[in-house]
Amino acid sequence: MLSKNQARTFFLGGTVVFFLIFLGLSWHTLAREVPKQTNAQNLTESVIRGKEIFDKNNCMGCHTIMGEGAYYAPELTKAYERKGEAYLKTVLTVKEPWAPRGRKMVAYAMSDQDANDVIAFLKWVGEADLNGFPPKPDLQSKVPVPSK
């Protein structure tokens, strides 16, 4: 039967080994792969400022981005592609809460510059290679279309 000492060795040994593997993989991911996959060369000043504004206003408190955040408002990873620049600009700059379909967003009334930065950030996020996320709707083609 397993002794207490063996159990302790299992715990300490396992922890150290797997933590070291994890550190190695993390280093490889961050140093080698993430810059390529996220187009780090496109992280302009505007994108970085956009991220700061995104953070400061806790946009993640309603939306998800790269699938992370809250579930009250739409996924933003592909918002730039889906809605386009002009639409996003309106949403960020209006002085009344944006609520085209009833659900209210905070009225940020951003300056032109701030809105442009946030949009640059969203464009950058949309161009990152997320291994296929968000998925294409795979059942859409199976929904029968009634003939007129």
Interface residues with ligand HEM (CB under 6 A)? 67-68, 70-72
Partners of 65 in the beta sheet? 68
Q: Can you tell me the distance from the alpha carbon of 110 to that of 65, in angstroms, rounded to the nearest whole number? A: 20
Pairing of strands 64-65, 68-69: antiparallel
Binning the chain into helix, strand and coil, the percentages to the nearest 5 are 55, 5, 40
Is residue 10 involved in binding other proteins (CB under 8 A)? yes
Per CB under 8 A, contacts with other proteins among 36-75 are 37-38, 40, 43, 47-48, 51, 54-62, 64-75
Residue 84 found at the interface with other proteins (CB under 8 A): no
Amino acid in the structure at residue 57: N
Q: How far is the CB of 116 from other proteins (least distance, A)?
A: 17
Binding of other proteins by 27 (CB under 8 A): no
Residue 89: closest CA among 127, 107, 116, 68: 116
The contact set with other proteins (CB under 8 A) reads 2-4, 7-8, 10-11, 14-15, 18-19, 21-22, 25-26, 28-30, 33-35, 37-38, 40, 43, 47-48, 51, 54-62, 64-75, 97, 101-104, 106, 121, 125, 128-135, 137-140, 143
